[in-house]
Amino acid sequence: MSQDYLVASAVLTNDAGMHARPSVKLTQLARSFTANIEVATDSAGPWVDAKSPVKLMRFRAPQGATLWLRAAGEDAQRALDEVLALVAGNFGEGAHG
């Protein structure tokens, strides 16, 4: 079965990158959507399930890395928008000065 994915990307600007707290926050948000959401650190993949914090942490994505997102399903656009907003907002953490 082929799916049409919506794709977006964002740069990780929070201090420590895709560490434990951001991974958990992202997966909690992703789970609130029915869409199939996947994450990669390269536009060519590999893509992993955005609803698994263990898989997200395995990227070891540092600050400054680009996070690629793709989603398919009925609420895919809203899912992408909200996940991008979470990343852009530094996962609700203060950035340091």
Partner 1 sequence: MAEIVFSGIPASKGLALGYIWRPATGAACGEATQGDAALTGGDADALRKAIATAIGDLSQLEGTLSGEEAEIVGMQLAFLSDDELARPAFEAIEAGQSAVAAWTEVMNAEIATYEVSDDEYFRARAIDFQDIRDRVLAALTGVQSGVLQVPRGAILLASDLRPSQFLSARWGAGCGIALTDGSPTSHVAMLARGRGLPMVVGLAGELRDLEGPALLDGTTGILVSGPGAERLAEGKARLEADSAARKQSAALAGEPALSRNGVRVAIHATIADPAELDGLDPSHFDGIGLVRTELFLDKLEKLMDEETQFATYRRILTWADGKPVTVRTLDAGGDKPIKGYTAVNEANPFLGIRGIRLSLRQPEVFRVQLRALARAAAYGKLRIMLPMVTLPDEITTARELLDAEITALAAAGVDHGRPALGIMVEVPAVAITPERFDADFYSIGSNDLVQYTCAVSRDEAGVAHLGSAIDPSVLALIARVVEHGRATGREVSLCGDAGSDPRMVPHFLAAGLRSLSVQHGLGGAVKATIAGLDLVDHRAGQA
Active site residues: 19
How far apart are alpha carbons 41 and 48 in whole angstroms?
10
CB 26 within 8 A of CB 90: no
Q: Which is nearer to partner 1, 74 or 92 (CB)?
A: 92
Binding to partner 1 by residue 92, rule CB under 8 A? no
Cα–Cα distance between 55 and 38 in angstroms, integer?
Answer: 11
How near is the Cβ of 84 to partner 1 at its closest, in Å? 10
Interface segment toward partner 1; rule CB under 8 A; list 34-42, 45-53, 75-83? 45-53
Here's the x/- map for partner 1, 6-35, by CB under 8 A: it reads as: ----xx-x-xxx-xxx--x--xx-------
Token pair 């201090």 in the structure block, residue: 15
Residues 59-88, interacting with partner 1 (CB under 8 A): 60, 62-64, 88
Tell me which of 36, 52, 75, 81 binds partner 1, using CB under 8 A: 52
Handedness of CA 41, 10, 7, 84 (dihedral sign): positive
Nearest-CA neighbor of 33 among 74, 92, 90?
A: 74
